[in-house]
Amino acid sequence: MGQQAAKELTTSPALDGMALRDQTFLLSPPNVDHRLTVDETRVKESLTRGLLGVEDGPQVLDWQPADTPGAGTNQWLVDSRLIAEGPRLQLSDRDLLPYRFELRLRRPGDGAALWSTVINGAFDADAL
């Protein structure tokens, strides 16, 4: 999930013409549907690892709503929301959890998203 989200974020049209290595992604705490039985720390770690795995990718920092990041042109706030998209799928050896992962890219101090996407899939909560 994190790798797919990283690919979507780093190929966003909002970043066209910008060198990724010169950008800073500030990851806000993800909003996670409690029905998925994963906590926000695991979701954020998955997204962070995905972004850090991008060759010549952006710098990745945690961001909290109380922080006031500067308005630099190379800074981006990444908002994420993980939502349960149906019942658990029970397989013989594990349960898969269908999800919808919403991502928004915006500038610090601006509530409007400059880009957003939705990723649908299912994951094994033990493997996230």
pLDDT digits (tens, 9 = 90+) for 14-54: 999 889 999 999 999 999 999 998 889 999 999 999 999 99
Q: Which pLDDT score, from 0 to 100, does residue 22 have?
A: 94
Average pLDDT, integer, range 112-127: 89
17 — alpha (psi -120 to 50), left (phi > 0) or beta?
left
pLDDT digits (tens, 9 = 90+) for 49-81: 999 999 999 999 988 776 666 666 789 999 999
Sign of the Cα pseudo-torsion (120, 123, 125, 128, in order):
negative
Q: What stretches of 8-85 adopt beta strand conformation (E)?
A: 24-27, 31-32, 59-62, 75-84
Q: Which pLDDT score, from 0 to 100, does residue 124 have?
A: 86
56 — alpha (psi -120 to 50), left (phi > 0) or beta?
left
Average pLDDT, integer, range 72-92: 89
Q: Which pLDDT score, from 0 to 100, does residue 84 have?
A: 95
